[in-house]
Structure 1
Amino acid sequence: MHEITTELTLAAPVDRIWELLTDCPLYPQWNPLFPRAAGRLETGGRLEIQVKLPGMEPFTITPEVVSAEAPSCVCWRHTLLFAGLFSWRYCFELEASAAEQVSFIQRSTFGGVLAPLFTLALGALLKEGLAELNRAVKRWGEKGNVRCLKC
């Protein structure tokens, strides 16, 4: 298994960050890594997610939601043909440390025989994409009212 992890502390309540991260129709307005997402964001649900790695054309994946527990985590897993060939598990976790402070943790884990090749070829781009997403969550999550994105 190959894993890329990021962590960021935000000056915002956990509910605000949860709302931002789980409102998929808002993604085109703020999310640079996943600029489009649709589907059921619940355990067992299927998603259609557009992935935009820096310097690459966007591509679409259709992962299954393996865990969704409000307001703490969402994990999905995408497989290429079958899990033994290639799988990508992405999770975000929110850990409230105070009323107005939350840790935002992203984990991307790769498995299967193609995982080392993917990590070698695209690992640096994914790290950059996760960093861009961190900056966007900080910018929009700490801004105040997520509903302003809906206007």
Structure 2
Amino acid sequence: MREIRTDIRINATSSKVWSVLADFEKYPSWNPFIVDAKGVIEEGKRLKVRISPPGGKPMAFKPIVQGLLGLRGEC
């Protein structure tokens, strides 16, 4: 299985970070790499994502949400 993973420290509450990450409609305003994302963010659900990496080939994929961490103080 292919995986995209990143780590970053953000000076904000987990609820604030989650509200930004869960708002797919606003992704293009702060992350031009992700052109479009749709779906329900729940474990086991499938999302639809289109990306356009700088200098790379645009692609679409349908990842499955493996789990949700952080909202219970886990990160």
TM-score by length of 1: 0.41
Change (3 A) 1:66 1:52: same
Q: Paired residue for 1:39?
A: 39
How many residues align? The count is 74
Structure 2 Cα separation of the partners of residues 41 and 66 of structure 1:
10
Structure 2 Cα separation of the partners of residues 12 and 70 of structure 1:
13
Q: Paired residue for 2:59?
A: 59
Structure 2 Cα separation of the partners of residues 36 and 47 of structure 1:
10
Q: Paired residue for 2:9?
A: 9
Higher relative contact order (CA 8 A, sep 6+): 1
Q: What is the RMSD computed on CA atoms of the aligned residues?
A: 2.7
Question: Aligned letter for 2:17?
Answer: I
Higher strand proportion: 1
Deviations 1:114-148, CA, capped at 9 Å, x for gaps: xxxxxxxxxxxxxxxxxxxxxxxxxxxxxxxxxxx
Question: Aligned letter for 1:17?
Answer: V
Q: Paired residue for 1:48?
A: 48
Unmatched segments (≥5 aa) in structure 1: 73-93, 96-151
Q: Paired residue for 1:26?
A: 26
TM-score by length of 2: 0.73
Q: Are the equivalent residues in 1 in contact too, given 2:14–2:70 (CA < 8 A)? A: no
Deviations 1:25-77, CA, capped at 9 Å, x for gaps: 211222233221001111111110012222123211011112134626xxxxx
Larger radius of gyration: 1
Q: Are the equivalent residues in 1 in contact too, given 2:38–2:48 (CA < 8 A)? A: yes
